[in-house]
Every structure is written in C-alpha cells, then in structure tokens.
Chain A
Amino acid sequence: MAGDDAAPTRADEAALFAEFKRTRDRRLRNELVERHMGLAAHVARRFGRRGPTADDLRQVAFLALVKAVDRFDPERNVAFSTFAGRTIEGEIKRHFRDHTWTVRVPRSAKETHLLIRRATDELTQKLGRSPTVPQLAEHLGLAMDEVIEGLAAGSAYTTTSLDAPTGNASEGSRQIGEEDAEFGHVVDLDMVEELMRRLPPREQEIVRLRFYDELSQSEIAERVGISQMHVSRLLRRSFEQMRQQVESP
C-alpha cells in the first residue's frame, strides 16, 4: 500500500488536487485516481472475504475512489489518503448493507410480512406458480427463518389489514400466548351457503373458487385479476367473517 502512495510527495499531490479543483480536467482526475488505485485495492481486501466476490468489492472501491477524488478539498487540512480511505470504506459498507445479509437494519415482523407477500406476487408471476420459502429467501436476501417468521406474522385469519396503521391487535403484532380473536366454534347446521351469500360479491366469488373449484390462491388471483397477497387477505377475512356470523347470526 505504502508503495503506491509513496511515489508522489505530499506537495506534488496537493498541487495536483489544487489544479484539478480549478480545472476539473478529466485527464488530471484520471491521473489522481490511478495514483491511488493501490489504496482502493487495499481497503477492498480488508472486506474481501465477507460474501460478494473480491472483484465486486474492488469495483465498489474503485468507484468510491473516483468519488473521493471528485469531492476532495485540498484546502482542508486532511490527507487525501485519509479522506479517500473513509469514503471507500463507507461505500463498501453501504454495498454490504444493500446487497448482502451481513449488515442490515432489522425489520419488524409486519414489514417482513408485507415484503414477503409482495415478493410472492412477483415470483408467482415469474415462475407461474407460488414460490417456495428458499426461493423467497434468495429473492429477498433474507434467511429462511426470517421468511418463516414473516409468513407467520399473518395469522390464519386477520380481521385488520396488515397494511392498516398499527395500534390495533393486528396479526403483525400478535405474540404467541395471546388469546386468538378468531377462536370459538359453534356447532351449526349446513349454513355455509347462507354465510357465503352474506359476503360482498368479490369475496363470494373468491370463496366459491376456493371451496368448490378448489383453485389455489395464485389461480384465484389470476382468475379475478388481483394479487395473490390480496386473495390471501380476502380469504382470511372472509373465513373470519363467516365464523363471526356463525357465532353472532
């Protein structure tokens, strides 16, 4: 590392940066970049075994070096190598945060649930069928456990939309051990048809397609022209509404 930066003296370097600041000459910028390529490679190597290929990291570091040259102010009392090192390191960390699972802000179960449902729709379109959990995990850059927890963040039934503001007892905030709101069966006569007729027309159609035509959620989504996430939500809501009607006719 030191060998790359040792050749030009600090005075030479300051003069070059001063000229570049004045002229913004691309040839000069390229020269400054080339002089510090070793610094970029050195910083990239420090992160080189953390997931993405070393080539990817060198590319990120190189682009960060170009940014550092563009932004560097020689009138400030900071060595370019210090400024560039921090800039390159920041870009690499940002790259990790955006592209890998190693550095990532934790999401709430509700956020993950919504992310998963949207990704399910995307992958269903792409694959022509509902995706598996490993496929979702790979698509979203999440661990399998996170996908499972995100799926489980929606209950069997959900009265409140997961898109609704928090504060109600939505499933996204439900904890294991809380009383399930949908609990409570009542023995009844064959009144399913009657219960279905009390649903809004679109929900009626969806429940009929599920009960009688035995279509999957993805197939219903395609038939009705809405997303699989929406079908899933409408089915759960319809089942709960029917259950409530049984209990409070």
Chain B
Amino acid sequence: MRQTPAVSSDQSPDQVVALGFPPSSRFLSAARLVATSLGADAGLTVDDLDDLRLGVNELVTTLVETADGSSRIALEYVTEDSSITVSGRVEGATHELEPDELTVRILGAVADHYELGPSSFVLTKLSTLREQS
C-alpha cells in the first residue's frame, strides 16, 4: 500500500488530461470538476460520478496536507472505455501521505481501486454500466 503507485506514463497522450496547482484547498473544486467532466465522458453514471468526486476530494485533500508552500500538486486523469483513473502526486513533497482512517473508509466505499504511495495516489472508478454488462 505504501509503494509508489503506477502512474499513467504508458497511456497515449491523447487520453491524458493534466492539472497542476499550488497546494491549497482552493483548487479542490477544480480537481472535482475536471473529474466529473471526464468521468461523464467515459460513461460513468451519476452515482459513479458522485463517488468519484468524493474519492478525488479525499485524496487531493490528503496530498495538499502533505505538501509545503514550495511544492505543487500534479494530477493526471486518464479515461478509457467506461473507466477513469486519477493519479496525483506532490512535486517536491517533504512529508509522506498520512491518510486517516476515515479517508481510508471513504475511499474503500467509493473507489473501485486505489493505491497510496509516500506522496502519490492512484484511484480508479469504473462505470456501473460496464460492471453490469
């Protein structure tokens, strides 16, 4: 759980959307909005999108807490057929991610898969429609 999660370097560039911002909670809504838009594009249902937004919120908040003023948060969103993977890392992190138990519970409830590294995360959400088909 604490190894560095695999990020999306093997993805075709046209499938990757990148977002970078200073470590401040002011940008949480931007991170959620991009996730909502790309998740909708990937065919996630409204329930799936609500879950995705909760997961992104938890993970990006944890990243922001880990960062200091001189570092930056870098997010990558990769959409594939009926799924979205959001990976994030703190560039220049000086502390390790320390998610609390509530964060772990929430992630367990809303994500299909997630991994946490010392200063990075990967979260995947699948469309319910894909699971049903």
Spell out A's residues near B (CB within 8 Å): 116, 120, 129-134, 136, 144, 147-149, 151-152, 155-157, 174-180, 182-192, 195, 210-211, 214, 216-218, 228, 232, 236, 239, 242-243, 246
Q: A133 and B46: CB pair below 8 A?
A: yes
Q: B26 and A178: CB pair below 8 A?
A: yes
Q: B129 and A239: CB pair below 8 A?
A: no
In whole angstroms, what is the CA distance A50 to B76 when docked?
40
Smallest CB–CB gap between A123 and chain B, Å? 9
Chain B residues with CB below 8 A from A242, complex form: 102
In whole angstroms, what is the CA distance A50 to B30 when docked?
35
Cross-chain contact of A148 among B36, B101, B127 (Cβ < 8 A): B36
Chain A residues with CB below 8 A from B33, complex form: 148-149, 152, 176
Q: Could you write out 15 A-B pairs with CB less than 8 Å apart? A: A130-B45, A132-B40, A144-B40, A152-B33, A152-B36, A155-B29, A155-B53, A155-B57, A156-B32, A156-B53, A179-B25, A185-B99, A188-B102, A192-B105, A216-B128
Q: B65 and A132: CB pair below 8 A?
A: no
Q: B61 and A152: CB pair below 8 A?
A: no
Chain B residues with CB below 8 A from A133, complex form: 40, 44, 46, 49
Q: A176 and B29: CB pair below 8 A?
A: yes
Q: A188 and B101: CB pair below 8 A?
A: yes
Cross-chain contact of A151 among B25, B28, B46, B106 (Cβ < 8 A): B46
Proximity string of chain B (40-52) to chain A, C-beta cutoff 8 Å, 1 when within and 0 when not: 1001111111100
Chain A residues with CB below 8 A from B102, complex form: 188, 192, 195, 239, 242-243, 246
Chain A residues with CB below 8 A from B25, complex form: 179-180, 183-184
Q: B100 and A216: CB pair below 8 A?
A: no
Spell out B's residues near A (CB within 8 Å): 24-30, 32-33, 36-37, 40, 43-50, 53-54, 56-58, 61-62, 64-65, 98-103, 105-106, 108-109, 127-129, 132
In whole angstroms, what is the CA distance A144 to B38 when docked?
11
Q: B45 and A129: CB pair below 8 A?
A: yes
Smallest CB–CB gap between B114 and chain A, Å? 14
With A183-B64, A228-B47 given, is the CB distance from A239 to B100 under 8 Å? Answer: no
Chain B residues with CB below 8 A from A183, complex form: 25, 28, 61, 64
For A229, the closest partner residue in chain B by CB is B46
Smallest CB–CB gap between B6 and chain A, Å? 24
Q: Which of B56, B64, B102, B106 has the most CB of A within 10 A?
A: B102
Chain B residues with CB below 8 A from A232, complex form: 50
Q: B57 and A156: CB pair below 8 A?
A: yes
In whole angstroms, what is the CA distance A176 to B47 when docked?
23
Chain A residues with CB below 8 A from B44, complex form: 132-133
For A178, the closest partner residue in chain B by CB is B26
With A144-B40, A148-B40, A174-B29 given, is the CB distance from A185 to B61 under 8 Å? Answer: yes
Q: B47 and A218: CB pair below 8 A?
A: yes
In whole angstroms, what is the CA distance A220 to B55 when docked?
19
Q: B47 and A214: CB pair below 8 A?
A: no
